[in-house]
Amino acid sequence: MKSIIVGTAGHIDHGKTALVKALTGIDADRLEEEKRRGITIDLGFAHLELTAANGEKLRLGLVDVPGHERFVRNMLAGVGGIDLVLLVIAADESIKPQTREHFDILQLLGVRRGITVLTKSDAVDAETLDVVRLEVEDFLRGTFLESPNSPVIAVSSLSGAGLGDLTRAIISVAAQIEPRDSRALARLPIDRVFSMKGFGTVVTGTLISGAIHKEEELEVFPGGRRVRVRGVQVHGQAAAEAVAGHRTALNLAGVSVEELARGMILAPPESFVTTRQADVRLSVLRSAPRPLKNRVRVHFHCYSAETIARIELYGPEEIKPGEAAFAQLSFADSMLLLPGDRFILRQFSPVVTIGGGVVLDAAPVSSPKTVRKIERTVGGQAPVFTQVLQGLAHFERRGAILTNRVTRRGNRGLSLAEAVAETGWRKDQIAVLATSLANEGALIRVQDRLFAKHELEGAQKSLVDAVASYHKNDPLRLGMARGELLEDMTRGFAIAQELFDEAVSFLAKEKKLEISGDLVRLPGHGAVMKDEEAESKTKIENAFATAGLKVPALYEVLAALKIDKTRAQKIVTLLLRERVLVKISDEMVFHRGALEDLRKLVVAQKSRSPKIDVARFKELTGVSRKYAIPLLEYLDRERVTRRVGDAREIL
């Protein structure tokens, strides 16, 4: 069954609510004040099921909006998710101010399908009705509601005249509408919050994408609160799930009415992130009272959300009526926005609709201020950044968009989770797309992070250069510690650990680097010593080799050398890395030959006695307790012995 959201639009008292009731039998005015005053104040809802000519069932959710200029903000909360509009114009009044404003809003929101309904046709004679029809057709010329693509149908909600023609037209237009993507990540902008006796907290909204199931866990944006779906209703009927295009009511557990509000969005947990900034393409209406100036404040409306935004233009200092430009919006409140979301801008004061546009990027990496600084530095425009924004506006070119978003992150890359939050696409879709782009050579994937191919190539060159520089500056060291190399690579910019590891691994396979334990070095590189350094190395090694187990203090050995202390320490470090010397405590260093002889000596004692204590060890080796204890602890660590009480068991 195809689900379609139908919205009304038009001037106050032109019969929108009466038309909805005539079509569905449901009075969309639910508030006592609405019934008392005879005007629609807030959103109203109804539903209708029809059958298409091919037998397909159509489930229509109708959103009835207020027509009074004071309630345009309520109207905006309802029209963001509609697929088809009924532009209602009363035959006895023709086109009025809110007809124009509502229609401007529909065009700014990118609504592409609709029907113009001339209500109250029984209140005028045939000649007047023809005149109004001509006025309306002229008003709609060049728009998505231009006839004959979109019909103009006269009806009377009182007598029922024309309702059959309208119903058939709705079926015809609805058949042309592509169903919303129920496989996408779910987003439900909340337009009503209330408590129902016996159920608790209930929210309603138009499910603009994905599906929501009973007992599913959702997250409230902004705020991050987790809730559980206790029950689902679609068009007033209990259901196991709601899918994109449904008017949906959810009974929620884990949250009170006071903690929710119109404008919040329900979505899968940990899928999206809110933002305080977004890059957009915005248009100013021809009817706007004045140009839209840089850094001006406006009222921002997107789906059921509303906040204050400040506009920063990329390039011009103002946008004239009828023109468009790229801009960055900064919001007073955290917003959940995705590329492709349509929005409306209203003047801060007096509050009138002045324009709108589409979100290009809710995770901007630059700002108009930075772009202007670049322009002043290099002169002229910043065409590269403008091309990036233009590229993001082609929403159907997913491969180009993902490549763009990965590339702009440089050597930090973009994780799959970040890509989901930035695009709204499912993780599995991104993974498949990334594989395709990797096969084309545009991207590489390392674990769950994506990089532009040239970033790997750049990282490889930087690694080789860093290691070569290290060897040149410190020839006494065998190589650069891996952690030190990463720290050197991240100095001044952030390289992702995944890219670093991949580059090191690739260079090792290509034999452009060698990995030895924790050390990274150029192939075949060894410590390069001057004559006095080589002589000092020999003296250090001999001093410990001839001492056996009664080694001298290290500082005494170093003090007798001709070279300075710093170079002497580096030579000791080199001998330790080569395992010529072995440090068994903070103060004691032994030659590996002496320790190997000790191991053999102790193991040979096992045939005489499986245990050895400190006294026997001292007697066996001829060392004092000062040496005996550290040496026994070393043998424990090497699994030659195991301490049992005051003695050691020889293993």
Please check whether residue 163 lies inside any domain of the structure: yes
Of the candidates 638, 529, 516, which has an alpha carbon nearest to the alpha carbon of residue 584? 638
Whether residues 136 and 13 fall in one domain: yes
Whether residues 444 and 572 fall in one domain: no
Please check whether residue 380 lies inside any domain of the structure: no
- pTM metric for this prediction: 0.78
Distance (Å, whole) CA 602 – CA 621: 9
pLDDT at residue 34, rounded to an integer:
52
Please check whether residue 407 lies inside any domain of the structure: yes
Split into its structural domains, the chain has a count of 5
Q: Which residues are CB-contacts of 505 (< 8 A; sequence separation ≥ 6)? A: none
Q: Which residues are CB-contacts of 138 (< 8 A; sequence separation ≥ 6)? A: none
**Number of alpha carbons in the 13 Å side-chain half-sphere of residue 403:** 17
Joined together, the tokens standing for residue 571 give: 């030579």
Residues 269-315: tens digit of each pLDDT:
999 999 999 999 999 999 999 999 999 999 999 999 999 999 999 87
Cis status, amide bond into 222, omega within 30 of 0: yes
Joined together, the tokens standing for residue 231 give: 């029950």
Joined together, the tokens standing for residue 311 give: 């506009």
Whether residues 540 and 615 fall in one domain: yes
Q: At what angle do helices 592-604 and 531-547 cross, to 10 degrees?
A: 20
The last residue of a domain, from among 131, 147, 175: 175
Q: Which residues pair with 51 in a beta bridge?
A: 57
Round the CA-based radius of gyration of the chain to a whole number and report it. 38
Q: What are the DSSP calls for 272-315, one per residue?
A: ---EEEEEEEEEE-TT-SS-EETT-EEEEEETTEEEEEEEEESS
CATH of the domain at 116: 3.40.50.300
**Number of alpha carbons in the 13 Å side-chain half-sphere of residue 33:** 4
DSSP class of 187? B
Of the candidates 399, 59, 524, which has an alpha carbon nearest to the alpha carbon of residue 245? 59
Across the chain, which has 651 residues, the per-10-residue mean pLDDT values are 88 88 82 60 82 86 76 76 92 92 90 94 93 94 88 93 94 87 91 88 93 95 93 89 92 94 94 94 92 94 94 89 93 94 92 92 84 63 64 80 89 92 92 92 91 90 85 73 80 80 88 82 68 73 84 76 75 77 85 90 87 89 89 91 88 84
Distance (Å, whole) CA 591 – CA 268: 62
Whether residues 498 and 552 fall in one domain: no
CATH of the domain at 515: 1.10.10.10
Q: Which residues are CB-contacts of 341 (< 8 A; sequence separation ≥ 6)? A: 302, 303, 358, 359
Whether residues 15 and 130 fall in one domain: yes
Whether residues 611 and 477 fall in one domain: no
Please check whether residue 378 lies inside any domain of the structure: no
Whether residues 70 and 199 fall in one domain: no
The last residue of a domain, from among 475, 507, 527: 527
Whether residues 327 and 407 fall in one domain: no
Whether residues 8 and 133 fall in one domain: yes
Whether residues 522 and 637 fall in one domain: no
Please check whether residue 488 lies inside any domain of the structure: yes
pLDDT at residue 395, rounded to an integer:
74
The last residue of a domain, from among 512, 527, 542: 527
CATH of the domain at 316: 2.40.30.10
DSSP class of 647? E
Of the candidates 305, 391, 385, 382, which has an alpha carbon nearest to the alpha carbon of residue 342? 305
Joined together, the tokens standing for residue 544 give: 């410990």
Residues 380-411: tens digit of each pLDDT:
555 556 677 777 777 778 888 899 899 888 88
Please check whether residue 77 lies inside any domain of the structure: yes
Whether residues 111 and 8 fall in one domain: yes
Distance (Å, whole) CA 643 – CA 359: 69
Could you tell me the maximum CA-CA distance found in the chain, to the nearest angstrom? 127
Cβ atoms of 330 and 319 within 8 Å: the answer is: no
Joined together, the tokens standing for residue 73 give: 């903000």
Whether residues 146 and 167 fall in one domain: yes
Please check whether residue 377 lies inside any domain of the structure: no
Cβ atoms of 183 and 125 within 8 Å: the answer is: no
Cβ atoms of 227 and 255 within 8 Å: the answer is: yes
Please check whether residue 299 lies inside any domain of the structure: yes
Q: At what angle do helices 482-489 and 497-509 cross, to 10 degrees?
A: 120
Single-letter amino acid, residue 416? L
> Which residues constitute the domain of residue 160?
2-175
